[in-house]
Structures are given as C-alpha cells and as structure tokens.
C-alpha cells in the first residue's frame, strides 16, 4: 500500500513545530527518523495531513553532559550517534548496549533515541533502558514545558505522556551511582528483531559491605509498558548477588511477571525466558560493579 497524501514541512525552531502541531485545522504528526512512522503511513495505520520534520531544528540535535552530570539527548539525535558517543559509552553504557540491540545499522543511522521513546513499542529496548536508568522526559507544547519521570511517561502500548500537540524535546539521564554494574539482555528469534522478552539490570554495590545496595530490574516485551519488578529487586538488595539471591530473583519473575501470548511467543515462554535472562544479567551486572 501507499500512504495517503500529506504535506511536509521542516521548521527551524521548537516554537514553530509546536504551533504546527497545535493547529486544529489539520492533523499534524512529528517525523524524526521515520523508521516507525513511514511504515505506519505506508500501511495506512496513520493518516496525518502534515508531517512536521523536527530533525532540522538545531537545538534538538544536541547531545551533551550538563553541569550537574546529566546526559541530555535532544529529539533529533540519531540512535547510532548516541551509541557511538564517548560520554554515553563511558557514563551510560547500558544505554549504548540497548541501542546496539535495535534492528540493524541502517535503522539506527536514521532512527532517533527520542523517536523510539515517543513511539513506545512495548517490545522496544529504549523505553526499558530509560526506566532502568531513571530518565526524565522534557515535553514542550502550547501550554509550556514540563518534565515527566520515566515511571509516568509510558502510558500504554504506543501511548505516552506526550499529547498530540506536544513535542518530546529531550530525554535526560541522571548520572548512575558511582559503584554500579549493568546488563541488558534479550531473547529474539533473529538478530535485530524486537525483543521477545528482554531485561535491563542496574546494581549498585555497597563497597564496604560487598553487597547490593540498590537494584533496578526492568523488562521489555512483558506487558504494555516497561515492567519494573520490585520483588526481584528486593531479592537482590542486601545480598552478595550470589546464586541464592539470583535464584530468588528468578522465582520473583516466575511469580510476578504477567506477559501476554502473541504470535511470537506464549506468556509462559516469555516468563521462563525472562527468569533465565535475569539470572544471567545479574551475574554480568555484578561482575561489572
Ligand atoms: C526493519 C526495522 C527494524 C526495527 N527494529 C527495532 C528493534 O529491534 N527495536 C526497536 O526498539 N526498534 C526497532 N525499530 C524501530 C526504530 O527503533 C525506530 O527508529 C523508532 O521506533 C522510532 O524512531 P524514529 O526516530 O524513526 O521515529 P519516527 O518513525 O519518525 O516516529 C515514530 C513515532 O513517534 C513520534 N515521534 C517521533 N519523535 C517524536 C518527538 N520528539 N516528540 C513527539 N513524537 C515523536 C512520531 O510522530 C511517530 O508517531 C525497527 C524499525 C525498522 C524499520
């Protein structure tokens, strides 16, 4: 199929983009990398009258670490750019690793970090990485600018806190804890596919006690939004992340994770896979602490 006809414009400022999105006369949609939107247009799952290309807005092309040590990634920053950036690789390696699981180089060369977050496919890697890393989302619209926490940003499948007349302008990652280790692992049918199920783990080490001080465990492909599992985190906190603690965390997954069946896998397969992934990811994360 071919898309229905639409107009295209590439504004130079966020203000211009927002006023185009807020125009009630015609339905406008943001296009960033186009790696999800263009297929949706071709399948006529989306029929906007106007595409607002945000990749020519200079301030959105910025990736930097601010004076408080936060990593700030603008809405036009491509996934490949972020994954190759030294500040990202050194300070937020989980994010770089998660990007590495997205599709293929051609997709990552065009797709943006914020586009994946705004699109919010529940099997996508970046929403899960963002929740594991406690990201903040800066949203600008006709009513001003607001910042939303990761736990409030992902509302439902393909739905986020960004309204139709708003723009996700930036995602902000706070500095991770000093003594932390991480892992991002997923099950896929073929390399480059969306995750059948995946997990992001961040463990903070109490260096004096030699135990886990804090843990974040977040799954993708396990529900309509990225799923954080406090019971699995509780099983790890205070432990030495050894075999017993990892087994307890895996039991928490089997008891508490409620994925769905679909054409790719049964719920049971996903749950079992998630438990195995978590055991392995905890081992890796602890070694990296
Ligand atoms: C063959 C193929 C394989 C893929 N494999 C994977 C994979 O394994 N894992 C994975 O996670 N993804 C995968 N993707 C999707 C890819 O990561 C997309 O790049 C991403 O989902 C969307 O980013 P984008 O910049 O291309 O956004 P676009 O396609 O331009 O936009 C996607 C949606 O988000 C909205 N949007 C985009 N940016 C903003 C913004 N700043 N503010 C508000 N709304 C915005 C658009 O209006 C649109 O509705 C794959 C895509 C393809 C084509």
Give the pLDDT confidence score for residue 5 in this predicted structure: 94
How many residues are recorded in the chain? 289
Fold classification of 180-288 (topology level):
Enolase-like; domain 1 (3.30.390)
What values do phi and psi take at 58, rounded to 5?
A: -55, -45
The protein residue whose alpha carbon is closest to atom 21 in ligand 1 is: 116
The pLDDT of 226-237, averaged and rounded, is 98
pLDDT of residue 228 exceeding 80: yes
CA distances 95 to 73, 88, 143, 171, 273, Å, are 12, 7, 31, 12, 22
pLDDT > 70 fraction of the chain, expressed in percent and rounded: 100
Give the pLDDT confidence score for residue 191 in this predicted structure: 84
State both tokens at 114. Answer: 């914020």
The pLDDT of 252-259, averaged and rounded, is 97
Q: Which of 107, 164, 169, 195 to mutate to test the pocket of ligand 1 (most atoms within 8 A of CB)?
A: 107
pLDDT of residue 147 exceeding 90: yes
Residue pair 113/171 in contact by the 8 Å Cβ criterion: yes
Give the pLDDT confidence score for residue 218 in this predicted structure: 98
pTM of the model: 0.97
- Cα separation, 251 vs 14, whole angstroms: 47
The pLDDT of 221-237, averaged and rounded, is 97
Residue pair 145/139 in contact by the 8 Å Cβ criterion: yes
The DSSP call for residue 69 is: S
Name residue 228's beta-bridge partners.
Answer: 218
The pLDDT of 64-88, averaged and rounded, is 98
The pLDDT of 173-179, averaged and rounded, is 94
Taking all residues of the chain, what is their mean pLDDT, rounded to a whole number? Answer: 97
Ligand 1 atom, smallest distance to 29 CA:
47
The protein residue whose alpha carbon is closest to atom 28 in ligand 1 is: 34
Q: Which of 21, 111, 164 to mutate to test the pocket of ligand 1 (most atoms within 8 A of CB)?
A: 111
pLDDT of residue 76 exceeding 80: yes
Confidence of residue 192 (pLDDT cuts 50, 70, 90): confident
The pLDDT of 226-243, averaged and rounded, is 98
The pLDDT of 17-46, averaged and rounded, is 95
Fold classification of 58-173 (topology level):
3.30.465
Confidence of residue 284 (pLDDT cuts 50, 70, 90): very high
State both tokens at 89. Answer: 């690789």
The protein residue whose alpha carbon is closest to atom 48 in ligand 1 is: 37
Tell how far the Cα of 207 is from the centroid of ligand 1, in angstroms. 39
The protein residue whose alpha carbon is closest to atom 11 in ligand 1 is: 124
pLDDT of residue 259 exceeding 80: yes
Give the pLDDT confidence score for residue 63 in this predicted structure: 98
- Cα separation, 187 vs 283, whole angstroms: 17
pLDDT of residue 1 exceeding 80: no
Report residues whose beta carbon is within 6 angstroms of any ligand 1 atom: 29-37, 39, 54, 75, 102-103, 107, 111-112, 114-116, 118-119, 124-126, 162, 167-168, 192-194
Domain 7-53: CATH architecture, name and number where available: 2-Layer Sandwich (3.30)
Tell how far the Cα of 237 is from the centroid of ligand 1, in angstroms. 35
**Domains of the chain: which residue ranges?**
7-53, 58-173, 180-288
- Nearest residue to 144 via CA among 18, 31, 24: 18
Q: Which of 10, 22, 36 to mutate to test the pocket of ligand 1 (most atoms within 8 A of CB)?
A: 36
Ligand 1 atom, smallest distance to 188 CA:
8
pLDDT of residue 3 exceeding 80: yes
Give the pLDDT confidence score for residue 66 in this predicted structure: 98
81-98 burial: b if 16+ Cβ within 10 Å, else e:
bbbebeebeebbbbbbbb
- Nearest residue to 178 via CA among 229, 213, 228: 213
């Amino acid at each position: 199929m071919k898309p229905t006809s639409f107009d295209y414009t590439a504004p130079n400022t966020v203000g211009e983009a927002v006023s185009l999105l807020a125009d009630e006369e015609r339905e406008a949609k943001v296009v960033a990398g186009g790696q999800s939107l263009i297929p949706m247009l071709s399948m006529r799952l989306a029929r906007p009258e106007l595409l607002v290309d945000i990749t020519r807005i200079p301030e959105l092309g910025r990736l930097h670490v601010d004076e408080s040590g936060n990593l700030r990634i603008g809405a036009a920053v491509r996934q490949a750019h972020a994954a190759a950036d030294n500040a990202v690789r050194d300070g937020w390696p989980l994010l770089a690793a998660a990007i590495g699981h997205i599709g293929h180089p051609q997709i990552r060369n065009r797709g943006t970090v914020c586009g994946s977050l705004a699109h919010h496919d529940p099997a996508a890697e970046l929403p899960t990485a963002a929740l594991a890393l406690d990201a903040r989302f800066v949203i600008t619209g006709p009513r001003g600018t607001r910042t939303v926490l990761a736990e409030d940003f992902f509302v439902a499948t393909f739905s986020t806190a960004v309204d139709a007349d708003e723009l996700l302008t930036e995602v902000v990652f706070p500095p991770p804890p000093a003594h932390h280790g991480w892992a991002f692992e997923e099950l896929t049918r073929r390399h480059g596919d969306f995750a059948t199920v995946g997990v992001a783990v961040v463990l903070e080490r109490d260096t004096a006690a030699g135990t886990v001080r804090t843990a974040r465990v977040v799954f993708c492909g396990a529900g309509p939004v990225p799923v954080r599992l406090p019971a699995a985190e509780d099983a790890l906190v205070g432990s030495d992340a050894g075999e017993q603690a990892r087994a307890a965390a895996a039991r928490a997954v089997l008891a508490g994770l409620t994925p769905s069946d679909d054409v790719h896998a049964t719920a049971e397969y996903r749950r079992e896979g998630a438990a195995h992934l978590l055991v392995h990811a905890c081992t890796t994360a602890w070694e990296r602490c």
